[in-house]
Structure 1
Amino acid sequence: MRTYPCVLTIAGSDCSGGAGIQADIKAISALGAYAASAITAITVQNTLGVTGIHPVPPAYVKGQIEAVMDDIRPKAVKIGMINDAEIVRVIAESILKYHPEYVVFDPVMVSTSGCKLMEDEAIEAITTRLIPLASLITPNLSEAEILAGQKISTVEDMKQQAKEMLKLGCKGVLIKGGHLDGGLMCDVLQTATEEAPHLFTAPKVNSRNTHGTGCTLSSAIATFLALGEPMSVAVKKAKQYVYKGIESGKDVCIGGGHGPLNHFHSPVAMHIFDKNE
Structure 2
Amino acid sequence: MMEQFVQALSIAGSDSGGGAGMQADLKTIQERHVFATTVLVAITAQNTLGVNDAFALPTKIIDEQFEALAEDLAIKACKTGMLADVERVRAVVKNLKKFDFGPLTVDPVMIAKGGAPLLSEDAIAVVKNELLPLATIATPNLPEAEKLTDVSIEDEADMEIAAKKLQAVGVKNVMIKGGHFVGDDQSSDFVLLEDGTSFWLTSPRVDTIRTHGTGDTLSACITAELAKGKSVEDAIRIGKKYVDETIRHGIIVGHGHGPLNHWAGRNSDESNG
TM-score normalised by length of structure 1 = 0.93
State the distance in 2 between where 1:223 and 1:186 align: 23
Equivalent residues of 2:125, 2:148 under 8 A apart: no
Equivalent residues of 1:137, 1:172 under 8 A apart: yes
Q: What is the match of residue 84 of structure 1?
A: 85
Q: What is the match of residue 190 of structure 1?
A: 192
How far apart are 1:151 and its partner, in Å? 1.2
**Within-5 A mapping of 1:199-238:** 199-238=200-239
Summarize deviations over 1:185-230 as a string: whole Å, max 9, x none.
Answer: 1111112222x31211110111111011100100000001111111
How far apart are 1:267 and its partner, in Å? 2.6
**Within-5 A mapping of 1:1-277:** 1-181=2-182, 182-194=184-196, 196-249=197-250, 252-265=251-264, 266-268=266-268
State the distance in 2 between where 1:69 and 1:99 align: 8
How far apart are 1:27 and its partner, in Å? 0.2
TM-score normalised by length of structure 2 = 0.95
How far apart are 1:115 and its partner, in Å? 1.2
Equivalent residues of 1:18, 1:260 under 8 A apart: yes
3-state SS in 2 of match to 1:54: strand
State the distance in 2 between where 1:134 and 1:67 align: 22
State the distance in 2 between where 1:267 and 1:62 align: 38
3-state SS in 1 of match to 2:241: helix
After superposition, the CA RMSD in angstroms is 1.2
- Unaligned ranges ≥5, structure 2: none
State the distance in 1 between where 2:151 and 2:161 align: 12
Identity %: 39
- Unaligned ranges ≥5, structure 1: 271-277
3-state SS in 2 of match to 1:144: helix
Summarize deviations over 1:33-79 as a string: whole Å, max 9, x none.
Answer: 00000111000100000111100001111111221122113110110
State the distance in 2 between where 1:29 and 1:83 align: 25
| Length, aligned pairs only | 267
Letter in structure 2 aligned against 1:155: E
Letter in structure 1 aligned against 2:21: G
Q: Stretches of 4+ moved more than 2 A in 1?
A: 266-270
